[in-house]
Structure 1
Amino acid sequence: MKRELLEKVIIVEGKSDKRKVENIIREPIEIICTNGTLGLSKLDELIDILIDKDVYILVDADAAGEKLRRQFKSELPEAEHLYIDKMYKEVATAPEHHLATVLIGADIDIYTEFLDRG
């Protein structure tokens, strides 16, 4: 049975990334954790439920994040890739104002008070 997702989906690596992003986003968006790299069967299963959705990839600026990003570029080329500054390395540790700026740049509705915290 296929899971029904919202129209917009953000893919992150871990639960701490998900919690951080959830606090900043104002609009209803599904946030999916990959829990690290994905095997082919798990990736195929995920891609099946992402068809016809606006998909955003927001992963860490490290080797594991880049590997995951390459997998999605290959298997889901229409996804939009969002990048945090390499100096922060991880989504979970990036400042909220930085994440808010990245998300608003992708036309994702955020709580604007996070922009003022920079």
Structure 2
Amino acid sequence: MLKEVIVVEGKSDIQRIQQAVTADCIATEGFTLRKGVIEQIRVAYEKRGIIILTDPDTAGERIRRVLTKKFPNAQHAFVPRNEAFANDDIGIEQASPESIRRALSVLHTETIDSSNEFTMADLVSHGLSGFPNSAELRASIGAKLGIGYGNGKQFLYRLNHYGITRAAYEAAVQSIINKEL
């Protein structure tokens, strides 16, 4: 059983998580984030720690941002978008148990201070920004690094705030570029 409590968006997500791992979960029940739910998350955060695992879509990212502001030392897990899509729907409930276990094996805690290790020039030089296939490359490299998908600005933020090292970034880039050749 995981020590931390996993925070997801809905009851279907909890059912899918429980097919993958033994863990306690809290559902935000959407973006409203009622006071009672926030209090449940706060108690879990203070006593056991939390892992935020929201859907890889716009609503999920908005929920993640709100929760990160309230709970800055929360851990983050990301299921890649292409592994969370089925039945014309995207979400954790669509992900396979293997994808969920993989996401939970690579956790990141956002740091307040930016490492400033990476710049937009890094993204451009590796084709991750400004090119027709940049979004696909960011998605693949984000999955490899366990930081999820994001537009160029969000991806750069995650590189600099989730403790990604230059060596890990370069290895992920090379791995994805070599796979495409």
**Structure number with bigger Rg:** 2
1:28-76 deviation digits (Å, cap 9, x = unpaired): x311111111346345423431213221000101111011100111000
For structure 2, the residue ranges without an aligned partner over 5 or more in a row are: 85-89, 108-181
Query: Which stretches of structure 1, 4 residues or longer, exceed 6 Å deviation after superposition?
Result: none
How many percent of aligned residue pairs carry the same amino acid? Answer: 28
Q: 1:104 — aligned with what?
A: 105
Instruction: Answer 1 or 2: which has greater strand percent.
Output: 1
Q: 1:74 to 1:90 in 2, by over 3 A?
A: same
Q: Which residue of 1 is the match for residue 93 of structure 2?
A: 92
1:38 matched to which residue of 2?
32
Equivalence map 1:14-53=2 (5 Å): 14-26=10-22, 29-39=23-33, 41-42=35-36, 44-50=38-44, 51-53=46-48
Higher helix share: 2
2:80 matches 1:79? no
What is the identity, as a one-letter code, of the residue corresponding to 2:21?
A: I
- Relative distance call for 1:44 and 1:36 in structure 2 (3 A) is closer
| TM-score where L is the length of structure 1 | 0.72
TM-score under structure 2 normalisation?
0.49
Q: Counterparts of 2:38 and 2:95 in 1: how far apart (Å)?
A: 30
Q: Which amino acid in the other structure matches residue 56 of structure 1? A: I
Aligned residue-pair number:
99
Match of 2:6 in 1: 10
Of stretches 76-85 and 96-105 in structure 1, the one that deviates more from structure 2 is 96-105
Query: Does the 8 Å CA contact 2:56/2:80 hold for their aligned counterparts?
Result: yes
Shift of 1:105: 2.9
Higher RCO by CA contacts (8 Å cutoff, separation 6 or greater): 1
